[in-house]
Amino acid sequence: MSGSDLTVEALGVFDQGADRLVDSHPVGIWYSTGANLLAQVTVPPGTTATLNGGYRFESISPIALLAGVTYVIGAYYPGIASLTAPQDDIILLSTQTYAGITFVQSRQSLLEAAGSFVFPNLDASVSQGAFGPNFEFLEATATPEPSRLAG
């Protein structure tokens, strides 16, 4: 991440069509090593979570992300395990651009047990992004303005 420090105030997931989420989704932010889960929330199914820019968000206790430090944001998608069940979408092979944020790598996890929410520790081996989890933040400026990031 480059630019200014950020204060993250909500975590969310992509809602294709902005009509509703099929599943609940745990979402979290870690340091790039996976050593510490800095924040986590579960975005519920349906339309109760706040909709902003095609993503549904739930508030968290604010956390600071420092400029120059690499972080990982991840979400668990239970519907992906069963391709026959309805599922929520992610944005595949996209090149998203966000002020003050640098996309580094798409990651994934191979789960041992269904229903697990774990640090995405494997390179997804795609040069472009797979975006689904997201966060809302305030940039450290004289007059903070809400922004959002897909990651």
pLDDT in tens, 20-75: 999 999 999 999 888 889 999 999 999 999 999 889 999 999 999 998 898 988 88
Q: Are 109 and 101 in contact (CB under 8 A)?
A: no
* Of 4, 129, 134, 110, the residue nearest 60 (C-alpha): 134
Distance CA 32, CA 68 (A): 12
CB atoms within 10 A of CB 41: 20
Quote the pTM value: 0.78
Portion of the chain with pLDDT greater than 70, in percent? 65
Confidence of residue 142 (pLDDT cuts 50, 70, 90): very low
Q: Are 6 and 137 in contact (CB under 8 A)?
A: yes
As given in the structure block, the two tokens for residue 41 are 């929330």
How far, CA to CA in Å, does 70 sit from each of 16, 65, 66, 102? 28, 9, 9, 9
Q: What is the mean pLDDT of residues 10-15?
A: 93
